[in-house]
């Protein structure tokens, strides 16, 4: 009995320890889940616009690629600067000759008492070698300036990619809000038509309306349900587009957005916007820097016709078949001047000039495109605001018209067609209003992007 008592006590202790370990594992797993973006596969995360933008800035492959381009140009700048510094190398090897060769140069005449150097068919050498460029026709300095310009242009393109992505995210975000509003209107229409259908059924049973009225009501309910399903499918498709823009890898993780229409007054006139756009648009600034870089490339190509001056030196230990090392060193100031290269330098200069002309035409085209874009965004904003004003008034009239038609139908003074038309008209007017409402917000973001304003501020989260 005593042994059984101790055995039970022993297993109780093990059970307590196991329960404690399981509790710790569950606690750690919950902490790890909460530290991640998603708690579990079934959770649905709610994103605001600012959170959508932050997520995309971290995970979008477009941004990652642009950041890599900036990193490449930073490395190129370091390489260009390093060309101005001395290069020191260690080297060595062995050389086999057909005839015995002196291990070191002959430094004097045997007649003067200077012995001949050692001769060997195999000579080994090891030493340090120095190369320091002094003058390359200005190419050393211009290569650094060229790399700086290319790096600045890449940084501007990164900003442009971010601005484009933020604008696309904003547009899709407001499109989802618009579809949500449309689905609410369509759902309300379905409920209203279903209520009307029940009234028609009651009137049909009472013999007050013909069967064709009931069939017409049933058809309109089916149409409204179909429209709701189409809107639901469009919403899912738009969410997938947003998922792609955000750089979400896992298609199984569901998410939703939260927010309301946001309004920010535009402080620019059209003339001010046109002037500001050419000062602030990052892609235009990038093209200007690329054009400066093209001019530098032309000058670098021309500088290849100028002399190249450099300092060279080496310290070498040599030996033959014996193990006796013989030291030797030299230092030289050398100059190289191209005299004939078959037209290679001229061809390179012509190529760089042609590339520069391409960039100049690209700058001209982008300038015209920016002007057009600014004007179009202002027109879109003006159009959306006018449509909102008209649709707002029409929506009140449509609601009142539907109320009157439903009341008249209940009193037997109207038809199903009139009620259905009133329902359909209300949905169309509400759809137009919400379309204009979110088009206005997208147009505001478009104006700000066209002007070159930063779109990543907190004012985007409404």
Instruction: Single out the residue of 461, 399, 15 nearest to residue 257, CA to CA.
Output: 461
- Residue 444, CA atoms < 13 Å, CB-side half-sphere: 17
In this predicted structure, the answer to whether residue 344 has a pLDDT above a threshold of 50 is yes
In the chain, domain spans:
49-460
Helical segments of 40-98, H only? 49-59, 61-82
Give the percent of the chain with pLDDT over 90: 46
DSSP structure string for 361-413: HHHHHHHHHHHHHHHHHHHHHHHHHHHHHHHHHHHHHHHHHHHHHHHHHHTTS
pLDDT in tens, 43-68: 788 998 889 999 999 999 999 999 99
CATH number of 49-460: 1.20.1600.10
Helix (H, G, I), strand (E, B) or coil at 22: helix
Instruction: Single out the residue of 440, 71, 411 nearest to residue 208, CA to CA.
Output: 411
Phi then psi dihedrals of residue 446, to 5 deg: -65, -40
Bridge partner list, 126: 92, 317
119-135 and 87-102 beta bridge pairing: antiparallel
pLDDT in tens, 408-451: 888 877 787 888 888 888 888 888 888 888 889 899 989 999 99
Cα–Cα distance for residue pair 105/102, rounded to 1 Å: 6
Cα–Cα distance for residue pair 112/61, rounded to 1 Å: 77
In this predicted structure, the answer to whether residue 460 has a pLDDT above a threshold of 50 is no
**Which DSSP symbol is given to 254?**
E
In this predicted structure, the answer to whether residue 38 has a pLDDT above a threshold of 50 is no
Q: State both tokens at 249.
A: 């890898």
Cα–Cα distance for residue pair 456/350, rounded to 1 Å: 43
In this predicted structure, the answer to whether residue 246 has a pLDDT above a threshold of 80 is yes
Instruction: Single out the residue of 121, 177, 56, 134 nearest to residue 433, CA to CA.
Output: 177
Q: State both tokens at 317.
A: 């230990």
Q: State both tokens at 364.
A: 């001209």
């Amino acid at each position: 009995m005593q042994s059984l008592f101790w055995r039970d006590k022993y297993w109780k202790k093990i059970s307590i320890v196991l329960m404690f370990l399981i509790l710790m594992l569950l606690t750690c797993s919950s902490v790890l889940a909460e530290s991640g973006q998603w708690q579990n596969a079934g959770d649905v995360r709610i994103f605001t616009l600012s959170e959508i933008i932050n997520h995309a800035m971290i995970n979008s492959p477009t941004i990652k690629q642009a950041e890599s381009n900036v990193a490449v140009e930073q490395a190129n700048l370091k390489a260009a600067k390093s060309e101005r510094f001395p290069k020191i190398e260690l080297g060595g090897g062995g050389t086999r000759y057909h005839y015995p060769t002196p291990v070191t140069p002959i430094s004097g005449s045997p007649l003067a008492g200077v012995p001949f150097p050692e001769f060997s068919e195999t000579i080994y050498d090891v030493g340090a070698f120095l190369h320091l460029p002094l003058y390359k026709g200005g190419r050393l300095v211009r290569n650094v300036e060229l790399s700086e310009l290319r790096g600045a242009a890449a940084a501007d393109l990164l900003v442009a990619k971010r601005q484009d992505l933020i604008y696309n995210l904003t547009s899709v975000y407001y499109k989802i809000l618009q579809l949500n509003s449309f689905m609410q209107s369509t759902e309300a229409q379905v409920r209203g038509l279903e209520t009307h259908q029940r009234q028609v059924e009651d009137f049909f049973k009472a013999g007050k309306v013909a069967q064709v009225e009931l069939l017409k009501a049933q058809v309109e309910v089916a149409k409204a349900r179909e429209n709701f399903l189409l809107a639901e499918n469009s919403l899912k498709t738009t969410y997938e587009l947003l998922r792609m823009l955000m750089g979400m890898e896992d298609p199984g993780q569901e998410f939703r957005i939260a927010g309301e229409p946001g309004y920010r007054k535009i402080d620019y006139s059209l003339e001010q916007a046109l002037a500001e756009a050419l000062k602030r648009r990052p892609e235009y600034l990038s093209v200007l820097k690329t054009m400066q870089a093209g001019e530098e490339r032309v000058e670098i190509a021309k500088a290849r016709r100028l002399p190249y001056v450099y300092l060279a030196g080496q310290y070498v230990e040599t030996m033959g078949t014996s193990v006796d090392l013989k030291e030797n060193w030299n230092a030289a100031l050398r100059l190289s001047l191209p005299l004939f290269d078959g037209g290679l330098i001229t061809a390179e200069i012509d190529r760089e000039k042609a590339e520069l002309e391409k960039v100049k035409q690209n700058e001209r085209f982008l300038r015209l495109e920016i002007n057009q874009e600014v004007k179009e965004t202002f027109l879109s904003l003006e159009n959306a605001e006018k449509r909102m004003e008209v649709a707002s008034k029409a929506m009140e009239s449509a609601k009142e018209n539907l109320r009157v038609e439903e009341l008249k139908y209940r009193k037997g003074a109207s038809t199903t067609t009139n009620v259905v038309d009133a329902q359909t008209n209300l949905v169309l007017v509400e759809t137009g209003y919400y379309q204009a409402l979110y088009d206005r917000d997208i147009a505001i973001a478009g104006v700000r992007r066209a002007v070159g304003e930063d779109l990543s501020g907190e004012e985007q989260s409404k």
